[in-house]
Structures are given as C-alpha cells and as structure tokens.
Amino acid sequence: MAKETKLSGEMLADKVKLLHQQYHTPNYAPEHVFVKGKGSWLWEADGTKYLDFVSGIAVTALGHSHPAITKAISKQAGTLMHVSNLYHNDQAPFLAEMLCKRSIAEKLYFCNSGAEANEGLIKLARKWGSESGRYRVITFRSSFHGRTLATLTATGQDKVQKGFAPLPDGFDYAEYNDIESVKAQLKPQTAAVMLELVQAEGGVRPADKAFIQQLNQFCQENKLLLLVDEIQTGVGRTGSLFAYEQFGIEPDAISLAKGLGGGFPIGAVLCGARLSETFSAGSHGTTFGGQPLACCTARTVLEQIEHRNLLENVTQRGEQLRAGLEKIVNKYAFVTEVRGMGLIQGLQIDRPAKKLETLITRRGLLTVCTAGDVIRLLPPLNVKAGEIKLALKTIDKACTDWQADPS
Ligand SMILES: Cc1ncc(COP(=O)(O)O)c(C=O)c1O
C-alpha cells in the first residue's frame, strides 16, 4: 500500500489537489477527490458519498468495482498483461469475434482511446479514397470527435480548435439534422461523412431518424463512406448495443471506446465489408492496441451486458429517467427540454447551467454540464430503479434551490 493512504481524508484530499496544481498541466480543473467507488456510488476521502450519474463520462458501464470486472482484471493481470502486436494473444481475437458477430463489422482494429479510434476512421477514409484522389470528410457543427490534431479538426467546434492552427486540411462542416447542408459540402474529393448519432458533448442532441436515412441514401448515391462515431453511444448506452441499430442503417465503419472497457482503456474501429481490407500490413498500428488485459476486460463487459439483460435495463431505466425529467421540464420555467436516448439524457437549461450542476452536486448527485447550458446524465447501464428515483428527487430539489436563489 502506498504510504499516502495513511493520511486522514481531508489531508489526503488537500495533498492531491496541491500535487495536481503543481505537477499537472492545467488543462483540467477538477474539484472533488474520489478514493473509492462501488456500483453507482463514489466516495471522497472524508467519507462523503455521491450518486454517480457521470460514470467517468460514459465509461464505467457496469458501475464501479464490478466484481466480474475486478475478477477478470486480477486474473488476467496475473497471467499475461501485454505482448505487443508482434505476437498473438489469447484474448484479442475472441473479443474481435464477439464485436464483429454483433455488428456490421467484418474485421476490426483495436486501439486505446476514442480519439485514436476516430483517427483510425479518418485514416481509413483517406486510404480508401486515395486511389481516386478523395480524402475529404464531411463532419458536423457541434460535434465532438476527440483531441488529436485530425479529430479536433473533425470536431465542429471553434473552442476545441482554437490555438492549434494550422489544422490539417480535408474537413468540411455541415449542419446537424440538415441534409441540404450536407449536400452543399459535397466536393469531388469527398470520401466520407462522419457523425455521432447523439451529439453528446455538443449538448445531448439525437439525430433525426429521417435525416440519418436521407444521409445514408446520399452516401450511397455519391459513393461516400458513412462513418459513425459511437464512442459515447456504443456498447449499450442508448438501449441497443450500438445506436446505429435504431436508425435502420448499416454504416461502413464505427468507432468505439469509453464503455467498451468498463473503465479500462480500450478503443476499436469496426470495419464493414468496404473497409475490412483497407489497412494493409504496416499501414496502421499502436503498441498497446488489443493487449490481453484490455481485451479480457472488454469481453467481460460484453458478457455482462448480455447475461444480465442490461440492454433491457437501459431501455426501462431510460424511460423512467426520461419521464421524471419531463416532469422537471414542466415544473421549472428555466428547464426547457429533455433530450436523449436510453441512458444518455440531457436537460436543456435556458441559461448557463454550471451553477445548477454545482447545486445538484451539493445535494449528492454527480452530473456533467455540457455545451454550457445542458445537464447531462450518464448513469451506469446497470443502474437501479431506486437510484434513478433518488437522482430525479435530487435534481428536483436542486432546481428548487436555484429557483429560490438564482444568483
Ligand atoms: C463522441 C465522442 N467521440 C470521441 C471522443 C474522444 O474520446 P477520448 O476522450 O477517449 O479520446 C469523445 C469523448 O468524449 C466522444 O464523446
């Protein structure tokens, strides 16, 4: 055990904050220091407990310290953790089979994070289009695809791109849910359209089904790839294993990360028939991708989703959450709309919502303010009915607090 665990709760929290300030580059601004998690709950060092409806930003799909994940990680860590892609391991191909059999994919590529998976989508599109001189990708305003140079350029938000010029060439931005705007961006060099089916960081904005079907048709007519970023929506979050299943489309490729490892870093690029042979030996790679520890953990996540009927739970708990949030919309004038699918839901506030997020946290519930004026809720996929009920009550009380003191 590290000796700092002997510090009292308050002293440990102070020490963590001090060291963070001193040694971390200042691109994050965390406030709370969590030292323990179990199921949908997190604890600070002094014992204060929070109901966690952030789930590490849609990552801890089975909640914290899930016994099946803990067991899988412990066993695999004591057996074989990493060998690199110079060799086979006895976990990655089985996870690959599980994912391909449950999706549009014929083949896939493993990586380590969401941005890296999307970088893979972009590289696939460029390699696929290279023989015909096509490399451009149409993406959408208010999207979020990651923080590498290519993915922040794909991201249709100035604030994410600011300060990083010159940005890579090859991205054109359309308005979400507006097919005419997509058509207007088509160029002879366009190879692909890339999008989220719920713009998550962009304010929990689901795509219209009719728009997605028009987009699918547009891609087919113009021989464009349809690439879906399922980093936040994938692995059960919307009530189906992948969100695209609910839109009646078959994308050419999808990217996964976040919930796939249930808290252990892993990403994947799932390639449909047109892209399954696009990467050739040596054309793309990463040292850690597909390592046995990550793949064993992800296999456990997928097994639990199936064996515990978690997709059904997402749908039912999602409906419960949605119904409660609608009551809150009807009760408070400053809460104008609820949007989302399954267990990714957002409350639209008619003004900056950071203060409301703080009030909700003070009452013991973690949520995340996104796009400045949306309270985003991302409970674990196995959240219980009682926890949803408690979260709704907490949000209601925090809204009452804010109404009484809107400062
Ligand atoms: C839709 C989407 N794509 C990509 C990313 C980037 O993933 P990562 O932070 O793992 O690089 C995120 C992260 O929030 C995301 O929500």
pLDDT grade for 3, boundaries at 50, 70 and 90: low
pLDDT digits (tens, 9 = 90+) for 158-215: 999 999 999 999 999 999 999 999 999 999 999 999 999 999 999 999 999 999 999 9
Q: Give the E-state strand segments of 289-399 in sequence order.
A: 335-341, 344-349, 365-366, 368-370, 374-377
Q: Cα of 407 to ligand 1 centre, how many Å?
A: 33
Cα(292)–Cα(290) distance, integer angstroms: 6
CB of 140 closer than 6 angstroms to any ligand 1 atom? no
pLDDT grade for 5, boundaries at 50, 70 and 90: low
Q: Cα of 2 to ligand 1 centre, how many Å?
A: 32
CB of 152 closer than 6 angstroms to any ligand 1 atom? no
Q: Cα of 160 to ligand 1 centre, how many Å?
A: 12
The mean pLDDT of 373-387, rounded to a whole number, is 98
Q: Cα of 158 to ligand 1 centre, how many Å?
A: 16
pLDDT digits (tens, 9 = 90+) for 288-341: 999 999 999 999 999 999 999 999 999 999 999 999 999 999 999 999 999 999
What atom of ligand 1 comes closest to residue 265's alpha carbon? 10
* Average pLDDT over the chain, rounded to an integer: 97
What atom of ligand 1 comes closest to residue 230's alpha carbon? 1
pLDDT digits (tens, 9 = 90+) for 204-250: 999 999 999 999 999 999 999 999 999 999 999 999 999 999 999 99
What atom of ligand 1 comes closest to residue 200's alpha carbon? 16
pLDDT grade for 406, boundaries at 50, 70 and 90: confident
Cα(217)–Cα(120) distance, integer angstroms: 24
Which among 145, 231, 260 is the best mutation to test ligand 1's pocket, defined by most ligand atoms within 8 Å of the CB?
231
pTM for this structure?
0.97
CB of 145 closer than 6 angstroms to any ligand 1 atom? yes
pLDDT of residue 182: 98
Tokens at 16, concatenated? 């963590």
Cα(282)–Cα(342) distance, integer angstroms: 39
Cα(220)–Cα(381) distance, integer angstroms: 34
CB of 194 closer than 6 angstroms to any ligand 1 atom? no
pLDDT grade for 4, boundaries at 50, 70 and 90: low
The mean pLDDT of 368-391, rounded to a whole number, is 98
pLDDT digits (tens, 9 = 90+) for 142-152: 999 999 999 99
Task: Express as a percent the part of the chain with pLDDT over 70.
Answer: 99
pLDDT of residue 8: 86
Q: Cα of 9 to ligand 1 centre, how many Å?
A: 32
Q: Give the E-state strand segments of 39-130 in sequence order.
A: 41-44, 49-52, 107-111
pLDDT of residue 6: 74
pLDDT digits (tens, 9 = 90+) for 48-88: 999 999 999 999 999 999 999 999 999 999 999 999 999 99
Cα(366)–Cα(375) distance, integer angstroms: 10
Cα(297)–Cα(165) distance, integer angstroms: 38
CB of 196 closer than 6 angstroms to any ligand 1 atom? yes
- pLDDT at residue 1 is higher than 60: no
The structural domains of the chain, ordered by start, are: 31-60+310-404 (3.90.1150.10), 69-307 (3.40.640.10)
Nearest protein CA to atom 3 of ligand 1, as residue:
145
